[in-house]
Amino acid sequence: MKATKKLAEFIHDLSYEDLSADAIAKAKLCLMDWVGVTVGGYAGGRSDMDPMIDSLQPFFGQRQATLITKKRKVDTINAALINGTAGHYLDYDDIQSGMSGHPSVPVIPAALAMGEYRKVDGKRFIAAVAAGFEAECRIGEAINPEHYGSGWHATSTLGCFGAGAAVANMIGLDAKKIVSTLGIAGTQAFGVRQSFGTMCKPFHAGKAASNGLLAAILAEGGFTAPQEILEGVDGFGKIYSTKFDETKIDNLGQPFRIEQVVYKRYASCYFSHATVRCMLEIGKKHNPAFSKVDKIMVKVGPLAIEVAGNPAPQTGLEGKFSLSYCAVLALVKGQALESDFTDELVNDPEIKDLVAKVVTVAEDSFTALESEICIVMSDGPEIKEKTDLISERAVSVAEWESILEAKSANLLRSSYPSGRVQDVITAIRGLEEIDDIGKVADLLS
């Protein structure tokens, strides 16, 4: 059986009862993380998000789905677009290595918008999210690392498939129409990494969410589409990668790819996280005096420099893609929270002076999850430390739950009173018992 049809049949057949306990738990954690970063994105990105909403307002359709924090409903496609953009604004959302991208931010806003409109229950929502993750992550495994490495923004390109698969599963399309959903999604796939550090990066995620949702809507109505979008001679797999491994679409759900999601502890590009952790370890062990630092050597994998190698950021957003700035943040402040990525702090004279002392070096033997830091001091021996993020894959669901409740609650407080924050977290914890996902959307209005 060809890859597109195989994936479509899996999406059609998947139900809540088929999911593992970890897949169900991770789906709820992904929603919890997404809710937090989306609310935070609306609050922290008001100067960008409000003009986006104002620009689109004349084109809003029926009141079908909630715009998070805005106390208003718009049509499902614009809700997915705008909520999806806000969700990726902070670049603080989850990661899946096979996808080489952020899996929740295209899938969840599309599923939430359609789920609210169609009044689906929590179990159906969870299954839809798992189906969406399986689609985008498995296709990602089939075309990466060549796809991401050649400049495509995988969250955007693969997210179209994920969002389409989630909505198609949710609304009960048959396998033939899911093939069409994938075809319509794939023909809309776009997004290049040249956009990183600008509003177009989060816009990619919003467009992937709305494109995938649109794909399922059109397929439901009988819109025709390519039937071999993945494996065809001129299909997605051949055009968007120098290598397409169709076997990666085998053994779907074994394990569910949503089980492999990890979550961001720091509010910056994930390729900077090993460097942040490494510097935090140096701070704990050695507590170096900032005034005595002569030079900071940061050795990382080539991809980390390619994506996050901005040596002299001028804005908080650019700081998220600067290994130099992230290293200095971890050294000076002992953290890398969203509140640390501001234009003011990036341009603070003391910070800029230290950033200028950072030299990043590409080490071919390193993956993007490894970092080694050497600090040359003016009054003593060099300080050296090496670390990686491999251990993140072994973090238990229970430990992630504790981390994400704290992370999301902190972000939710930017827009809601403490009672509402707790209500949101409680609702997500018991998501499988909710009879209408719109009740969660209402809490976020």
pLDDT digits (tens, 9 = 90+) for 216-229: 999 999 999 999 99
Q: What does the pLDDT read at residue 31?
A: 98
Determine which of 157-161, 206-210, 286-290 has the lowest per-residue pLDDT on average.
Answer: 286-290
Q: What does the pLDDT read at residue 290?
A: 87
pLDDT digits (tens, 9 = 90+) for 29-43: 999 999 999 999 999
Query: For the chain, what is the mean pLDDT?
Result: 96
Q: What is the CATH number of domain 270-392?
A: 3.30.1330.120
**Pairing of the two strands 293-300 and 358-362:** parallel
Q: How far apart are CA 199 and CA 218, in angstroms?
A: 28
Q: Where does the pLDDT of residue 326 fall: very low under 50, low under 70, confident under 90, or very high at 90 and above?
A: very high
Q: What does the pLDDT read at residue 197?
A: 82
What's the average model confidence in pLDDT over 245-251? 96
Q: In this model, does residue 146 exceed pLDDT 90?
A: yes
CB 281 within 8 A of CB 308: no
Q: Where does the pLDDT of residue 317 fall: very low under 50, low under 70, confident under 90, or very high at 90 and above?
A: confident
Cα-flanking dihedrals φ and ψ of residue 383, to 5°?
-110, 125
Q: Residue ranges of the domains in the chain?
A: 3-262+395-443, 270-392
Q: In this model, does residue 1 exceed pLDDT 90?
A: no
pLDDT digits (tens, 9 = 90+) for 329-383: 999 999 999 899 999 999 999 999 999 999 999 999 999 889 999 999 998 889 9
Which stretches of 245-348 are DSSP H helices? 273-286, 302-308, 316-319, 323-333, 343-346
Q: Where does the pLDDT of residue 306 fall: very low under 50, low under 70, confident under 90, or very high at 90 and above?
A: very high
Q: What does the pLDDT read at residue 394?
A: 83
Cα torsion through 409, 115, 105, 195, rounded to 10: -130
Q: Where does the pLDDT of residue 106 fall: very low under 50, low under 70, confident under 90, or very high at 90 and above?
A: very high
Q: In this model, does residue 230 exceed pLDDT 90?
A: yes
DSSP 214: H
Amino acid at 270: Y
Cis (ω within 30 of 0) for the bond into 202? no
The whole model's pTM is what? 0.94
**Fold of the 3-262+395-443 domain:** 2-methylcitrate dehydratase PrpD (1.10.4100)
Q: How far apart are CA 59 and CA 211, in angstroms?
A: 17
Q: Where does the pLDDT of residue 114 fall: very low under 50, low under 70, confident under 90, or very high at 90 and above?
A: very high
Q: In this model, does residue 66 exceed pLDDT 90?
A: yes
Cα-flanking dihedrals φ and ψ of residue 93, to 5°?
-95, 170
pLDDT digits (tens, 9 = 90+) for 388-428: 998 888 899 999 999 999 999 999 999 999 999 999 999 99
pLDDT digits (tens, 9 = 90+) for 158-203: 999 999 999 999 999 999 999 999 999 999 999 999 998 889 999 9
Q: Where does the pLDDT of residue 81 fall: very low under 50, low under 70, confident under 90, or very high at 90 and above?
A: very high
Q: How far apart are CA 145 and CA 367, in angstroms?
A: 12
Q: Is the dihedral of CA 13, 18, 23, 24 positive or negative?
A: positive
